[in-house]
A and B are shown apart, each in its own frame.
Chain A
């Protein structure tokens, strides 16, 4: 047997060093922004990082953002979703056995979300009331300490990125014929007022 039989997988050394650096920083307790896996369709649009808050404008985008982490074996949670479509979540790739759902936290939504962020990797929140800057900063601090990701469907004072779907077209449906088959959407990612990414994707 020659040495060529022992194949080392091709890894970009720089990426590997970055990853190791991040882990060392995490052990040292420093402020670190580890990446959280997302579905392939978000590549180039947005990269979830722990401690971040991301805004979405539809339930589908919220489920799709959480799906990557769920597929990677993390626990995800949905708070304030009293109309959670279980079958759609599964079709988007969320592992239902690692999903926690708080359909209507009511007035306790802030405490519930803070407690969920403690233990879950990605929490998708639909706030029931108006969010003030104070509540948002409490959650921000908790997120950074616990290395979770918060995805908010609705208004939020400061977001790392905000995803919105534009120019939605449905395929497969006519006038009394066919059925909804797939949705072509242009997803636009904004930070503040500036557009940071734009891509046309097919959502189920």
Chain B
């Protein structure tokens, strides 16, 4: 079997530049994909592209040397995930023409050479197949791709490195050994540090070409150069028979349903999507998978000149989605969009969409092995009955009216907790196990006000108590008032029985004007025995007092 290798040189740089051009990277700049660029790891150049090489940048250079040679070089961080991610479309587009693609590493893939089917008069089949693939790859934005065809994988890779961009270098059948023997030993450096070491040793021994190495006897090789030497020697003999580990194309797991005529109520859509949801879950279950995060996309009928509106949201599940959960999520997502369809209007998360639904699509976002989420023999996880009962409450008052309380880190009482909607997973919580200097020690307040109440604290002379920038109280708290100072619900001032504090903090001043700043917290007990957590924050005049929480 003949093997064709497709090599995209300096793939890390190409992938990095593609990502920059795509705009998904936070630092969006207008850079030409052909600008000089290097990929750095540990402040050393790992990969550089041809433009950078032309300026004198080399692999292994330090960053400042590279920048000294080429000041406008684009610096990219090494990221193997990014390289693999951007190589995936290349694999897919080669797969469209020739199945049985074996990815070797990002930037390098092998396919069984598509021999005689592509033969034209005067041009070999392999040449024309490579030309076809090159045209296809250029179509998806990969300009620098090189092809090599030979009897075995290693020779084909070496041949690809001989080829010019978008061209093919063919090693004739049976010529592999002869081709390799003409190569200098320095090509072994492409194998990694082991290869570089061997190449250096061979050069110092006076063996310049791989052919010189191949002329040695097998026994001597294994004595002197170890397992890697033997492997190289066997390759150079042209006796290597590595099989291609061709990949199976990833399965299509998403499911969609389109509605004709479009549906204009969330109930109807949720009802119609039931079988699709079941099919989606069954498709995953067939591969022993369950989804813990699902992206639901809904397309709406165009209204006027607006064009097709799309609502998309990723839903996370604390355990794993069942088809029933998915139907609920569809219902909630459409409810948020369809404000005018006679349903309970909820505050929308994005632009309000009030057009009929034409299409619904489920995309698995996070999948996990089903075994990790299986019920124990005697049940496990949330009680089924509880889950059903709470779902009824959610149907009554809206999905985000039912919450699960969770703890998180922070200084203020309200910062230290979070309310996660039932059926969603808590994300982005601050860690609890940090010291959080400035927080109030001791028993936590039982009532934490989401919106702090107005308050007032005065000293014996009747002046409002404040805290200086050194953290000193201007007067001893003598009387305090909870609630507004005037109006119908105004209360009398209450004498302070005892107080503790201040616990000064100065946080979030970096967020911007009007947020955060200097503040201090006090525990105040009134003569009626009720204790409050008050907060003084600097502002106009002598600052603002508010009630954060109560020890009720």
Which residues in A have some Cβ–Cβ distance to B below 8 Å?
58-60, 63, 75, 82-91, 96-97, 99-106, 108, 111-112, 115-116, 118-120, 167-170, 172-183, 204
Q: Which residue of chain B has the shortest Cβ distance to A63 in the bound complex?
A: B446
**CB 8 Å contact bits of B340-373 with A (1 = contact, 0 = none):** 0000000000000000000000000000000000
Residue from A86, A112, A170 having most chain B Cβ neighbours under 10 A: A86
A60 touches B552 (CB 8 A): yes
A59 touches B529 (CB 8 A): no
**CB 8 Å contact bits of B379-404 with A (1 = contact, 0 = none):** 00001011011101100110001111
Please give, as numbers and ranges, the residues of chain B lying within 8 Å of A89 by CB-CB distance. Answer: 405, 446
A100 touches B422 (CB 8 A): yes
Q: Which residue of chain B has the shortest Cβ distance to A121 in the bound complex?
A: B386
Interchain Cβ contacts under 8 Å between A and B, 11 examples: A83-B450, A83-B550, A86-B417, A86-B448, A87-B416, A97-B404, A100-B386, A102-B393, A103-B419, A169-B529, A173-B525
B237 at the interface (CB under 8 A from A): no
Q: Which residue of chain B has the shortest Cβ distance to A178 in the bound complex?
A: B500
Given A101-B404, A177-B500, the answer on whether A87 and B396 have CB atoms closer than 8 Å is: no
B241 at the interface (CB under 8 A from A): no
B444 at the interface (CB under 8 A from A): yes
B229 at the interface (CB under 8 A from A): no
The 6 closest A-B pairs by CB, nearest first: A119-B389, A168-B529, A86-B417, A87-B444, A88-B444, A59-B446
**CB 8 Å contact bits of B417-434 with A (1 = contact, 0 = none):** 111001000000000000
Task: Name 11 extra pairs, CB < 8 A, besides A60-B551, A83-B550.
Answer: A59-B447, A59-B552, A75-B386, A84-B448, A87-B413, A91-B444, A101-B419, A105-B397, A116-B389, A116-B393, A174-B500
Given A116-B389, A180-B523, the answer on whether A103 and B403 have CB atoms closer than 8 Å is: yes
Total interface residues on B, CB under 8 Å, equals 49
A179 touches B444 (CB 8 A): no
- The distance in angstroms between the C-alpha atoms of A169 and B527, with both chains bound, is 10
The segment from B29-37, B282-290, B435-443 that touches chain A is B435-443
Residue from B392, B413, B443 having most chain A Cβ neighbours under 10 A: B443
Which residues in B have some Cβ–Cβ distance to A below 8 Å?
383, 385-386, 388-390, 392-393, 396-397, 401-407, 413, 416-419, 422, 440-450, 473, 476, 498-501, 523, 525, 529-531, 549-552
CB of B128, distance to nearest CB on chain A (Å): 64
B500 touches A85 (CB 8 A): no
**SS class of chain A's interface: helix, strand, loop or mixed?**
mixed
Residue from A119, A174, A178 having most chain B Cβ neighbours under 10 A: A119
A175 touches B446 (CB 8 A): no
- The distance in angstroms between the C-alpha atoms of A101 and B529, with both chains bound, is 28
CB of B230, distance to nearest CB on chain A (Å): 58
Given A102-B397, A104-B401, A176-B501, the answer on whether A170 and B442 have CB atoms closer than 8 Å is: no
> Which single member of A88, A111, A118, A177 contacts B443 (CB below 8 Å)?
A88
> Which single member of B389, B405, B422, B446 contacts A118 (CB below 8 Å)?
B389
Q: Which residue of chain A has the shortest Cβ distance to B473 in the bound complex?
A: A176
Given A85-B444, A108-B397, the answer on whether A173 and B523 have CB atoms closer than 8 Å is: yes
Please give, as numbers and ranges, the residues of chain A lying within 8 Å of B525 by CB-CB distance. Answer: 170, 173, 180
Please give, as numbers and ranges, the residues of chain B lying within 8 Å of A177 by CB-CB distance. Answer: 500
Given A60-B552, A116-B393, the answer on whether A102 and B498 have CB atoms closer than 8 Å is: no
Please give, as numbers and ranges, the residues of chain A lying within 8 Å of B413 by CB-CB distance. Answer: 85, 87
A101 touches B446 (CB 8 A): no
Please give, as numbers and ranges, the residues of chain B lying within 8 Å of A168 by CB-CB distance. Answer: 529-530
B499 touches A175 (CB 8 A): yes
Given A100-B390, A119-B390, A174-B500, the answer on whether A179 and B397 have CB atoms closer than 8 Å is: no
B386 touches A120 (CB 8 A): yes
> Which single member of B392, B405, B550, B552 contacts A99 (CB below 8 Å)?
B405
Please give, as numbers and ranges, the residues of chain B lying within 8 Å of A108 by CB-CB distance. Answer: 396-397
B499 touches A173 (CB 8 A): yes
Given A75-B386, A85-B447, the answer on whether A96 and B406 have CB atoms closer than 8 Å is: yes
- The distance in angstroms between the C-alpha atoms of A119 and B403, with both chains bound, is 16
Q: Which residue of chain A has the shortest Cβ distance to B522 in the bound complex?
A: A176
B442 touches A179 (CB 8 A): yes
CB of B53, distance to nearest CB on chain A (Å): 58
B523 touches A96 (CB 8 A): no
Please give, as numbers and ranges, the residues of chain A lying within 8 Å of B390 by CB-CB distance. Answer: 100, 116, 119
Please give, as numbers and ranges, the residues of chain A lying within 8 Å of B383 by CB-CB distance. Answer: 75, 119
- The distance in angstroms between the C-alpha atoms of A171 and B448, with both chains bound, is 21
A88 touches B446 (CB 8 A): yes
CB of A83, distance to nearest CB on chain B (Å): 4
CB of B523, distance to nearest CB on chain A (Å): 5
CB of B173, distance to nearest CB on chain A (Å): 67
- The distance in angstroms between the C-alpha atoms of A102 and B395, with both chains bound, is 13
Given A99-B404, A119-B385, the answer on whether A112 and B498 have CB atoms closer than 8 Å is: no
- The distance in angstroms between the C-alpha atoms of A196 and B538, with both chains bound, is 50
CB of A78, distance to nearest CB on chain B (Å): 8
CB of B405, distance to nearest CB on chain A (Å): 4
CB of B106, distance to nearest CB on chain A (Å): 42
Please give, as numbers and ranges, the residues of chain A lying within 8 Å of B397 by CB-CB distance. Answer: 102, 105-106, 108, 112
CB of B534, distance to nearest CB on chain A (Å): 12
